[in-house]
Amino acid sequence: MKRTKSGKAWMHEHVTDVFVQRAKAEGWRSRAVFKLMEIDDRDHLIRPGETIVDLGAAPGGWSQLAVQRLRESGRIVALDLLEMAPLPGVDFIRGDFGDAETLGRLETLLAGERAGLVLSDMAPNISGIAVADQARMMDLAEMALDFARCWLKMDGSFLIKVFQGYGYEDFVRAMREHFRSVMTRKPEASRDRSAEVYLLGKGLKTVGKRLENG
């Protein structure tokens, strides 16, 4: 199949991207690791001894960094619709986060233990229809927020990727309803043209009600 001009441009940008090159040189699974690295350096989210839930984990860059910074103290539970190569110190579940059976497996694995940090780098498969893609992104964000409310410790943190656009301001308000502190982060590794930003909630105001299997 012949590549389009836009496809060739994307490939050239990807191959020459300084963060892609750095990830390969340093042995990281993806350039996305540098987004979490910058945010964690600033906000100190990964705390040894804590349980961390990594939603949308594949290919595993964020979990890889979390393993390193937990220093063999704590645990990581990761989930993604795509397969992820095994990582020592990470319990991985492959499944759709929006599926009740998958969520039940995740909650069973947590076995009632609250997390100190919930990470969500989830994003829908992009259809190219902007309105539909944004709606699906915000649906995922709302599900992740509900999960974090039910499974975080009161002093825990929730870091989530969202796209600016329809529903974004409503989601920020929802975050502020449930967290004592809500901040916006745009790490250097997040491309300038991208609508993605990261929202960081710290300190739950109230704990959400879990499902029966939780």
Q: Which two tokens stand for residue 9?
A: 């441009």
Say whether 62 counts as a known binding-site residue.
yes
Q: Which helix (H) or strand (E) holds 168?
A: helix 168-178
Say whether 17 counts as a known binding-site residue.
no
For residues 129 and 176, what is the distance between their CA atoms, to the nearest angstrom?
29
| Tokens 């996305």 -> residue | 32
Please enumerate in sequence order all residues whose Cβ is within 8 A of that of 78, keeping only pairs 6 or more positions apart, or say none. Answer: 53, 54, 55, 57, 60, 63, 84, 87, 90, 91, 92, 93
Say whether 60 counts as a known binding-site residue.
yes
Of 2, 8, 153, 161, the active-site residue reads 161
Say whether 151 counts as a known binding-site residue.
no
For residues 97 and 103, the answer to whether their CB atoms sit within 8 Å is yes
For residues 33 and 65, the answer to whether their CB atoms sit within 8 Å is yes
Q: Which two tokens stand for residue 40?
A: 């964690």
Say whether 121 counts as a known binding-site residue.
yes
CA angle at residue 183 from 168 to 142, to 5 degrees? Answer: 40
The yes-or-no answer on residue 202 being catalytic is: no
Residues of the binding site for S-adenosyl-L-methionine: 60, 62, 80, 96, 121
Residues of the binding site: 60, 62, 80, 96, 121
Residues serving a catalytic function are 161
